[in-house]
Amino acid sequence: MQTEPCQTRQPSWLRTILIGRNPRRTLIRIVVIVVTCFLLRAFVVIPIRVSGPSMLPTYRAGSVNFVNRLAYLRQEPQRGDVVAIRLAGESVMFMKRVIGLPGETVSFSRGRFLINGRPLDEPYVKFACHWDFVPDSSKLSDDEYYVVGDNRTMPPTDHTQGGAKRERIVGKVLR
């Protein structure tokens, strides 16, 4: 009686590339990756699309950026941070720069932003500005930040700006 050698069937190279040598391990990896991506998207980072020219030239209109929701768990927003501010619902947000901190008095004079009467150095403002006004509530409350876009060539009436309550600030925009 002749015995035939036991032949183990090797998976084809295409199958090996697509699902690996161990399909169970590959399935576990896929599930872990999908769950991790879902958790990151739901609780840590959210995408935000820039709509309009108010953040030019720092952020282009139509570009997609990500907001780190965990950035302000242990610290408060700092002057110069670009933040996402929730307006209504989960998806309507503004992307603006924090320039005034709680308790400060803010105004614009001859194109310069003044904090408590002193001009603020703003290297991110690349275009000449001719704003000259005092916001409606020039003294910020204890939980309010003054936010404005980087493109100051637009008339102040066309610019969404002003005080933003701390609870509306979703997180810091990742650069």
Whole-angstrom Cα distance, residue 110 to residue 114? 10
20 and 78 fall within a common domain: no
Alpha-carbon distances, residue 119 vs 15, 65, 108, 171 (angstroms): 65, 30, 9, 26
In a domain, 58, yes or no: yes
Task: Report the pLDDT value the prediction gives residue 159, as an integer from 0 to 100.
Answer: 76
* 48, 173 Cβ separation under 8 angstroms: yes
How many domains, the chain?
2
70 and 139 fall within a common domain: yes
> Helix, strand, or coil here: 53?
coil
Task: Report the pLDDT value the prediction gives residue 158, as an integer from 0 to 100.
Answer: 77
135 and 150 fall within a common domain: yes
128 and 155 fall within a common domain: yes
Query: Active-site residue 96, yes or no?
Result: yes
147 and 61 fall within a common domain: yes
91 and 33 fall within a common domain: no
Task: Report the pLDDT value the prediction gives residue 136, as an integer from 0 to 100.
Answer: 65
38 and 53 fall within a common domain: no
30 and 95 fall within a common domain: no
In a domain, 3, yes or no: no
Whole-angstrom Cα distance, residue 26 to residue 46? 28
Structural domain including 50 reads 46-173
115 and 92 fall within a common domain: yes
Of the candidates 88, 89, 97, 93, the one whose C-alpha atom is nearest the C-alpha of residue 48 is: 93
| Tokens coding 66 | 């990500």
In a domain, 17, yes or no: yes
In a domain, 19, yes or no: yes
In a domain, 90, yes or no: yes
Per-residue pLDDT tens digits of the chain, which is 175 residues long? 566 666 566 658 887 777 778 888 989 999 999 999 999 988 899 999 988 888 988 999 999 999 999 999 999 999 999 999 998 777 789 999 999 999 999 998 888 899 999 999 999 888 878 888 877 668 999 999 999 999 888 887 777 888 899 999 999 999 8
In a domain, 6, yes or no: no
36 and 71 fall within a common domain: no
Task: Report the pLDDT value the prediction gives residue 175, as an integer from 0 to 100.
Answer: 80
CATH number of residue 101's parent domain? 2.10.109.10
Alpha-carbon distances, residue 112 vs 15, 101, 107, 141, 166 (angstroms): 64, 17, 8, 22, 25
38 and 77 fall within a common domain: no
Q: Which of 12, 51, 54, 165 is catalytic?
A: 54
In a domain, 7, yes or no: no
Query: Model-level pTM?
Result: 0.78
Q: Which of 51, 96, 137, 141 is catalytic?
A: 96
Task: Report the pLDDT value the prediction gives residue 34, as an integer from 0 to 100.
Answer: 96
Query: Active-site residue 126, yes or no?
Result: no
80 and 95 fall within a common domain: yes
In a domain, 5, yes or no: no
